[in-house]
Amino acid sequence: MAEKSLKSTLTEKFWSLLPDEAHKNYIHRRTLPTIGKWHLRRFYSDTPDGFVRILDREYEDPVRLENMPSVVSFIAGEENSPLFAATYDSVRNQVCPAGKIIGISASDAESADKKIRETDSGYIAIVMSGCILEKRAFYECGRILEKGENPGIIYSDEDTLQQDGKRICPFFKPDYSPDLLMSMNYYGGFVFISRQAYLDAGGLESVSEGDAFYDLWLRISEREKIAHIDRILFHNTGNCKAALPDPGSVKRALARRGLKGTVTISGDRCIIDHETEGLVSIIIPSKDNPGMLADCLGSMDELTLYRDYEIIIVDNGSSDDNRAEIEALCDRYGANYVYEKKDFNFSYMCNLGASHASGDVLVFLNDDIKITEPKWLGSMAGQARLPYSGAVGCLLVYPDMNMIQHCGTKDCEDGPNHIYQGYYLTDPECSDAIYPADVNGVTAACLAIRKTVFEEAGRFDENMHVCYNDVALCFDLINAGYVNCVRGDVMLVHKESVSRGQDTGEEKFRRLLKEHEYLYAHHALKDSPHPFYNVNLTYRHSDNKPDYSKWMYDVSTQVREMTEEEIKAWESAPVRDDMKICLDECDAFKYVHLIGWSYAENYKRNYRLKRRMVIYDGDHHYVAELLDWYRPDVYAIVRHKDMEYCGFRAKFGKDLIETGTYRLSLWTDIGKSDPGRELIR
């Protein structure tokens, strides 16, 4: 075997002295010139273990709390097992004292209840044997109590700890989600409880079917305030298995609440179809689209099992020929026809239809929806009639019956977005799309709501003609104390925006920007902007994965008007025909975002290039600073040398540039190139 060269030996020795991130970089690419860029890796994590460990470093160091209430900890499991011992140690080693630690049986609810009632502490911590608490677990619960909120239950996020010490499967949970809790025991193996709430709910009870602890969580949650800590405070070991579906506890909860429904098991969830009765008013805005409307009404009539409904067609000005066809459809399907010639205003059309409705539940339905699920109306109406329910939506797919169009909305950095849009039902990233879930909002393409709740929330805001009117309604409902739910178990086909066309072009985009601004000025959520979406999940994409690159977006860059000298230098810079540019994002909603990557094919040191973006029109020339962005995802696609160091990003206040439509020019040390995109501000 040939001996290593002196250069190779020195290089490996040099890299071995650098931090782990740099060393891993060298092993990956074997490229020394990128030494100045290795630190970019700190912004990116591509594994759950790396992500949660970086996340842990973001939290402040815990301290002893002066007003920590007395706590007694109960570990549910066999006291002579190694699992119990590991859990015991994690409880004993809390930063804030854990008080007494008592073992209780996980299977004998009567004896466990007796031990809990014998204590006189203000709070109870129940930990399942096999769960390992973070040292800060009690501290974080104490911080909640110091705020004076006095919740009945406090729960947290969790992950799984492997034998080799790696952390996998982070479970970043929503804030209290009543429909998710009725679907599964998502609180997990560490729950912090007010002793008074425990007693008021009746304590642990022996149950003939199901989990006594889950049964207790449901009872307490029916009457007490629930708090969620969006931090991982405990780890499941490989022997601490996820809870199985528990239809027995769910059925008892339904009975306590005076509700009737069918409970079925699907995967790891329980799904409830609530028994319901009463007239439902289906309101369908439609204009000059009789063919699409015929498909909608035909599929509805053929498949819908729940038959107590009326149909109201709202037309804002179809042509005479199309109006005649729509009238014929109304006669065939017994629909009421409301015709009022008017400029398109989706909010007004829905409100007009609601004023003609006789049902206690309203369903707003696009004419480009095709009914494919027989139980759709009964499931959505039953959900809408629950006392706490606001708006109820469903899973919408494109006509291929596989790609997801809508599964609820979440509030991203740039505004509301459809969850899982563009993903396929077969993608593992969206395996939970087919289950009911509480969400920030649902689309009015298919939205059910009680008429009294609709009126209480102020109906659709008619200042929002086209966009975000459904989001505004859903935000208002959350502010009023209601819960919006998407029934992922109900799947319908949506031929999105067929009736009015896509929102493209400058005029429509400016309207989108205007209504986006109006939404947050008049309908913003008062408390948490993400009540049903954990802050540790991605806010840049439609999936619900951990945001491995969240630290990349927490930046603020500079933009300024160019000097005359800079303008001359830019104008005289050579045009690089070999420059490849991709702008992943180019928008100006809450901020201006410019995110992408670039490289010149005939240049070997792309990683060293200084990149700026010139933003210009006939009156203004701005230059925006571009920060380097580590892009291993790009290297996986574009196998160009050092491609992972050729990403860039910019984020600055949109008010720093004048309103206008701007061209863009990527300006580098070796020349300039046009990305082929406009920035509309």
- CB-based contact 640:624 (threshold 8 Å): no
- CB-based contact 354:454 (threshold 8 Å): yes
Using CA atoms, how far residue 311 sits from 146, 363, 396, 444, 662, in Å, is: 53, 9, 21, 16, 46
| pTM, two decimal places | 0.89
The answer to whether domain 551-680 has CATH 2.60.40 is: yes
Q: Where are the domains of the chain?
A: 6-50, 71-273, 280-522, 551-680
- The CATH superfamily of 71-273 is Spore Coat Polysaccharide Biosynthesis Protein SpsA; Chain A (3.90.550.10)
Nearest to 655 by CA among 634, 674, 681, 624: 681
pLDDT at residue number 500: 44
**Assigned CATH topology for domain 280-522:** Spore Coat Polysaccharide Biosynthesis Protein SpsA; Chain A (3.90.550)
Comparing 71-273 with 551-680, is the CATH topology the same? no
**For the chain, what is the radius of gyration of the CA atoms?**
29
pLDDT at residue number 393: 98
Indicate the DSSP class of residue 431. G
Instruction: Provide block-wise average pLDDT over 10 residues at a time, the chain (681 residues).
Output: 64 62 49 66 80 90 84 93 93 88 93 94 94 95 89 97 92 96 96 97 92 97 96 86 86 96 95 97 96 97 98 96 97 97 95 98 97 98 98 96 94 86 92 95 97 98 95 97 97 74 69 90 89 90 85 86 96 95 90 93 90 96 94 80 88 94 96 94 90
Secondary structure of residue 24 in the 3-state scheme: helix
Rounded to 5°, the CA angle 524-527-530 comes to 75
Residue with tokens 């809450």: 590
- H/E run at residue 261: strand 261-266
Residue with tokens 């209290």: 176
Alpha-helical regions (H) of 132-273: 137-146, 178-181, 195-200, 212-221, 247-256
